[in-house]
Chain A
């Protein structure tokens, strides 16, 4: 018998601290697999945001830095400009990226910084206990929208992939989901493609991943997947929003 699947080398053996059914662990593994497959481990600098994945640096066998809330794309810019040979991954949740760090993500994308952003969108704040996020759906109840998000007071969900796709510099933007095997496969492929493009110096790459947050959605892991399929994915259409090689870009 031959082992055909095991833990990726770019992850150490520490168990994840995430809740049962959380999307972070799935994406961490995919990133680590992509790093292994592309042979980037000894050049990677992994940026942990502020949120449930603030402790992502506990797991990655790469260089790690933890950034202030929302600042990861700025920290990534500094790292990449200081050491263009590094492979920089800015790993962020929706509170970090779509709320506190909207300026940083938009301008890193507008400048076309040559690093990869992995954006985990679970439409809620996890670490702080289930508050409303800019990505929270209309009508979705959270600890700070107890009567359901009401656009009259709290506006509408922010669609980051579409927003960034209005910018000229980004080379690859895709939104994927973790709800089923097909989309899981697409997510892994997107992450690997983004890192590969960065490694080839293509420029700014961005993967938005719709992910379950059972604990703060108040659902069990299976119900969470169902809720993603009936509510989250319809609000956030999956697909590629930008995929262009530098050579193809008309100045």
Chain B
């Protein structure tokens, strides 16, 4: 089952991955990370490993598994 892993410590909360994810399996988290950002979190939903989120992530926070 394809999935993504988001490095929530490095995420700066820009939310661009949320914008482009075609299956809307990413949303902005509720608790601050060490840098004071609300990181993006993987909802566990149906990821297709299309890797579009990694295309736009400015900080290379996302790894994709298939």
A residues in contact (CB < 8 Å) with B = 1-7, 11, 15-16, 18-26, 29, 178, 180-181, 184-185, 188, 214, 220-222, 225
Q: Are B16 and A4 in contact (CB under 8 A)?
A: no
Chain A: CB-nearest residue to B62: A5
Bound CA span A225–B64, Å: 24
Q: Are A6 and B63 in contact (CB under 8 A)?
A: yes
Q: Are B16 and A185 in contact (CB under 8 A)?
A: no
A-B residue pairs in contact (CB < 8 Å), sample of 5:
A5-B64, A20-B58, A181-B55, A184-B55, A185-B55
Where chain A touches its partner, the secondary structure class is: mixed
B residues in contact (CB < 8 Å) with A = 3, 10, 12-16, 19-20, 37, 49, 51-52, 54-60, 62-66
Bound CA span A184–B20, Å: 11
CB < 8 Å: which of A2, A20, A25 contacts B13? A20
Nearest Cβ distance between residue A181 and chain B, in whole angstroms?
5
CB < 8 Å: which of A6, A181, A188 contacts B52? A181
Q: Are B64 and A16 in contact (CB under 8 A)?
A: no
CB < 8 Å: which of A4, A178, A181, A222 contacts B15? A222
Across chains A and B, which 4 residue pairs bring their CB atoms closest together, nearest first? A25-B58, A20-B12, A21-B14, A221-B14
Bound CA span A108–B60, Å: 32
Bound CA span A50–B51, Å: 32
Bound CA span A211–B56, Å: 11
Q: Are A221 and B15 in contact (CB under 8 A)?
A: yes
Q: Are A3 and B58 in contact (CB under 8 A)?
A: no
Q: Are B51 and A5 in contact (CB under 8 A)?
A: yes
Nearest Cβ distance between residue B34 and chain A, in whole angstroms?
11
Among B37, B54, B57: residue with most chain A CB under 10 A: B54
Bound CA span A23–B59, Å: 10
Q: Are B58 and A21 in contact (CB under 8 A)?
A: yes
